[in-house]
Chain A
Amino acid sequence: MPAYVVRRLGHLLLVAAGVVVITFSMLHLIPGDPALVVAGEFASDESVKAVRARLGLDQPLHVQFARYVVNLVRLNLGESFRSNVPVRRELALSYPISAQLAVYSMLIAGVVGVPLGVIAAVRRGTLADLATMLVAMAGLSMPSFWLGLNLILIFAVRLGWLRALWSGALIDYLLPAITLATFSVALIARQTRSSMLEVLSQDYIRTARAKGLAARTVTYRHALLNALVPVITVIGLNFGYVLGGTVITESIFSMRGMGLLLVGSILDRDYPVVQAGILVLALNFAVINLAVDLLYAVIDPRIRYE
C-alpha cells in the first residue's frame, strides 16, 4: 500500500511539472505583450520597453523559465503584472470562493442525483425510471447561463427571496451552486443507476431476495454502498471539472472566483497569476483523483497491483 501511494505521488509531481511547462509555453505563444497591457495602450515604445525590462520579459525564454521554477520551488509565486498584488493574495481571494462553490454544488448534485439514480435503477423500465432520468437529463441539456439568469430573475427579482449579487454570505452560494449542480446531477444519477443495476443483477442479491425481507434489507444496503464506489469517481472527476469551469457562473453571479480571475488574467497577459492559478487547479484535480483512487484501492485490493 505505501508503495502504491508513493508511486502515485510521484505521478502527481510529474503531472505538476508537465502543467508548469505547458502553461509557460502556451502563455508565451499567445500573441500580445504583457508590457503593453501594463504600460497602457497609448504608451510610447520606450515606455513599453522599460516596463518589459521591469517585468523581466526581455530575458531569453529559458532564463525566464529557470527563474520561475527556482521561485516556484521556494514557494514564491511572484506578483501580478497588472496589479502588483502578490499572486498569493489573488489566489487567496479567489480560491476559497471557487472551492466552496464546487463543494456546495457537488453536495447538491449528490443529494439530488443519487436518490434519482437509485429510484431509476430499482424501478427499472417503469415510468418512474423514465421520469427520473428525464429530469436528470434536463439538467444535462441546458446551457448553465440560461438557467442561472432565469434563477436570478425568479428568486431575486420576482420573489425577492435571494440576492442577485453575491456578497460572501453562505446563502449567496445557493443559486450559483444549483446552476452548477444541474450538469453534475445528471451524470451522478446516470452513474448511480448503472452501478446499481450492475450490482443488483449479481448473484448474492438474488439469493438475498430469495431468503426474505431481513436479509434483503441488509444486502440492499451493502449493494448501495458497493454501487456508490464508481459514483464517487464521477463525483471526484466532476469536482475537478466544476472547479475550473465556473467562469460563466461566476460572471453571472458576480463572484470573484478562480474562473473570472484566470480568464481576466489571461486576457491581461498576467503571466504570474495565470501560471499559479492553473497550477493550483491542476494540483487540486490531481489530488482529488489520487484520493478517489486511494479510496478505490482501499476498497478493492485488486487495483493496487495495477
Chain B
Amino acid sequence: MLKRLARHRSAVVGLIVIGVLILAAIFAPVLAWHAPDIQNLPNRLAQPGSPGHVLGTDELGRDILSRLLYGARISLAIGIVVVLVAVGVGVPAGALAGYDSRYDAPIMRLTDLLLSFPGILLALVVVAVLGPGLRNAMLAVGIFSVPVFVRITRASVLSVRDLEYVHAARVAGSSDVRILFKHIMPNCLAPLLVQATFRVATSILTAASLSFIGLGAQPPSPEWGAMLATGRVNLYIAPHVTLYPGLAIFVTVLAFNLLGDGLRDLLDPRLGTTH
C-alpha cells in the first residue's frame, strides 16, 4: 500500500501546485498590487521587501510579484496551445498511420522528417518567416512536438487494431471511423494524457529558451522566460530579478512532471514511454 501512496502523494502535490497556478492566473488582476507593465525607472532593481514590492522590482521598476501572477496566465496558455497543436495534428495522423497501413509509411516518413530538424533552429526559422511573437513561437514549438504524439497514437492503435472485439465490430458492419472512436481511441487516452502532461512541462521550458534568444514573448509581456532572459544581465547585482521567475518556472514544470509521472503510474504502472 505504501508504494501506491508515495507515488500518489507527489502527484497530488503536483496537482495542488497546478491548482494554485490556475487560481493565480484567473485572479491575477485581483491579487496583483500593481499592473504588470507600469514602469518606475527611479525605483528599478529594488530589493525584495521594499515598500509596496514584496518581491522587489525589475530593471524597469515593474513589480515582480505582479508580473509573476500575470505571467502565470501566459505559461498556462503556452502549455495549452502547444499541446492542442501537437495533439490536434499528431493524434489524427498517428491514428491514421496505425489503422490504415496504406498511410503508415508516408506518415512515418514525414514524422521522421520533422524529427530530423533541430528544435530551436526550426523555431527560429518559423518565427523568422511568420514574425516574432509568442503566438508564432508556440506554433513552432507545437509543430516540433507533433512527432511524439504521432508515435504514441500509432503504437496504441497498432496494439489494439487486430484484437478480437475490433475484428468483431468490423464484421458486424461498423464504419472505420466508428471503430476508431469507439473501440480504439479509448485505448490511447492513457498514454496520450500522460504525454500531454509532460509536454506542458517541456513547452514552458522551451518557451523560456526561446525567450533567451529573443524569440518568445515580446516586451512588455510578463512571460517568466522573458523575465529570466532580460533580468539575467543583473545576475551579479540583483539576483532576485531572475530568482523568482526561475523558481516559478521550476515549481510549475516540476509540478506538471510529477503529475505526469503520477498519472502514468496510476493508469498503468508498466507503461513504458515510447518517446
Contacts and interface: CB of A to CB of B under 8 A. Distances in A.
Direct contact of A and B (CB under 8 A): yes
Contact of B232 (A145, A187, A230): A145
Scoring B116, B119, B125, B209 by chain A CB atoms within 10 A of each residue's CB, the highest score goes to: B116
Interface residues of A: mostly helix, strand, loop or mixed? helix
Contact of B121 (A18, A134, A251, A278): A278
A124 interface: yes
Interface stretch (A39-47, A81-89, A237-245, A294-302): A237-245
Contact of A130 (B10, B117, B232, B273): B10
B269 interface: yes
B195 to A, nearest CB: 12
Interface string B95-125: 0000000000000011011011111110011
Given A191-B275, A197-B269, A233-B275, A30 B121 contact: no
Scoring A146, A149, A230 by chain B CB atoms within 10 A of each residue's CB, the highest score goes to: A146
Given A127-B6, A244-B119, A191 B272 contact: yes
A30 B228 contact: no
Given A127-B6, A130-B6, A194-B273, A141 B209 contact: no
Interface string A228-271: 00100110010011011101100100000001001100100000
Contacts of B257: 137, 140-141, 186
Interface residues of B: mostly helix, strand, loop or mixed? helix
A240 B115 CA distance: 9
A15 interface: yes
Interface in A167-191: 186-187, 190-191
Interface stretch (B50-58, B177-185, B248-256): B248-256
Given A30-B129, A146-B228, A190-B261, A19 B249 contact: no
Interface residues of B, number: 52
Contacts of B213: 247-248, 251, 263
Nearest to A29: B129
B229 to A, nearest CB: 8
Contacts of A29: 129
Nearest to A183: B205
A143 B115 CA distance: 22
Contacts of A60: none
A149 B235 contact: yes
Contact of B250 (A142, A145, A194, A245): A142
B102 to A, nearest CB: 15
A251 B102 CA distance: 45
A266 B7 contact: no
B36 interface: no
A26 interface: yes
Given A138-B254, A286-B116, A244 B121 contact: yes
A30 B128 contact: yes
Interface string A189-207: 0110011011001000000
Interface string B121-139: 1001110110000000000
A143 B4 contact: no
A146 B2 CA distance: 36
A125 B9 CA distance: 11
Contacts of B120: 244-245, 247-248, 259, 263
Interface in A265-284: 266, 278, 281-283
Nearest to B243: A146
B128 to A, nearest CB: 4
Contacts of A100: none
Given A26-B125, A126-B2, A282-B116, A143 B275 contact: no
Interface of A: 11, 14-15, 18-19, 22, 26-27, 29-32, 124-127, 129-130, 133-134, 137-138, 140-146, 149, 153, 186-187, 190-191, 194-195, 197-198, 201, 230, 233-234, 237, 240-241, 243-245, 247-248, 251, 259, 262-263, 266, 278, 281-283, 285-286, 289
Given A237-B275, A243-B118, 11 more contacts: A15-B113, A125-B5, A126-B6, A137-B254, A143-B205, A146-B246, A194-B271, A233-B275, A244-B117, A248-B213, A286-B116
8 contacts: A130-B7, A138-B250, A143-B228, A198-B272, A247-B120, A278-B117, A281-B117, A281-B118
The 8 closest A-B pairs by CB, nearest first: A244-B118, A125-B3, A282-B116, A141-B253, A141-B254, A143-B208, A30-B128, A18-B113
